Amino acid sequence: MSEGSPAPYLSTIGEVQVAVRDRVATVTLNRPEKLNAVTGAMSAELARFAQWCNADDGVRAIVLTGSGSRAFCAGSDIRELDRYTTPWDFRNRVDYCDAIRDLRKPVVAAINGYALGGGLEAALTCDIRIASASASFAAPEITLGWIGGGGMSALLARSIGASNAAMMVMTGDRIDAGTAKAWTLVSEVVEPDRLLARAQQIAATIASRAPIAAETAKRNLQAAANMPLDEAIAYERDLQTVAFATEDAREGRQAFAEKRQPRFTRR
């Protein structure tokens, strides 16, 4: 465990694995035989992890990936959906995309295969997306009689534009990694054997930056997507002022003057 964290995170179920190194937590959905489809227990575990992570300075960035080479995540385990006794129970279920959204620290998705349905929503919920050349993406809910509910339409439209989002949501057809890159759904496409290392490299770079500034940048980007331009700029100025007042900002200025690497302490 990296310095600054009192104890390793202990997952209560084997289907969600967490490893922390150098302030980067790698979270692996671990049901490769089921294409890493998410169960209710896995959703609850991800929510528990988010709560722990937000409170622990031993983690400053997260990588989210899936076990095996076939899938990042194929969404919710469809066999579990009939266990909800009423539509209201289904509406108020613990949702894994909400758990990812609750993370205050930057999240990099390492998409190593199918990102389908809720798996695509989970990837879209991450801040940065890196894909394997063998990855593919789809919003197939319409082929089963419903639509996504974890932010699919809003997040897709913001990421790839209204027409491309409509193409995916209304047909349910799959797109490959090259198309995802062309549509700006992902930032990079790399060979499968380089995927996790590249995602962890990006996360490690973020983890080396001032953590309050990184969390503030994440909050600012999220807010900017929901504000008119003038309000977004004013909000950014307010957040800049908060970050500028931290000890880390003072340390950054001093390190620059002394021509050395800064030592950020999240204060």
Helix axes 229-244, 211-224, angle to 10 degrees: 170
Q: Active-site residue among 121, 191, 215, 251?
A: 121
Burial class (CB in 10 A: 0-12, 13-18, 19+), 153: middle
The answer to whether residues 58 and 65 touch, using CB atoms and an 8 Å cutoff, is no
- Under 8 Å CB-to-CB from 117, ≥6 apart: which residues? 74, 75, 76, 138, 139, 140, 141, 148
Count of Cβ atoms closer than 10 Å to residue 231 Cβ: 12
Burial class (CB in 10 A: 0-12, 13-18, 19+), 3: exposed
> 141 an active-site residue?
yes
Contacts 24+ apart (CB under 8 A), 18-21: 18/49, 20/58, 20/59
> 236 an active-site residue?
no
Q: Active-site residue among 33, 141, 215, 231?
A: 141
Which among 265, 213, 262 is positioned nearest to 242, based on CA atoms? 213
Which among 21, 91, 97 is positioned nearest to 61, based on CA atoms? 21
Beta strands in the chain (DSSP E): 16-21, 24-29, 61-66, 71-73, 107-111, 114-116, 128-132, 136-138, 175-176, 188-190
Residues carrying an active site annotation:
121, 141
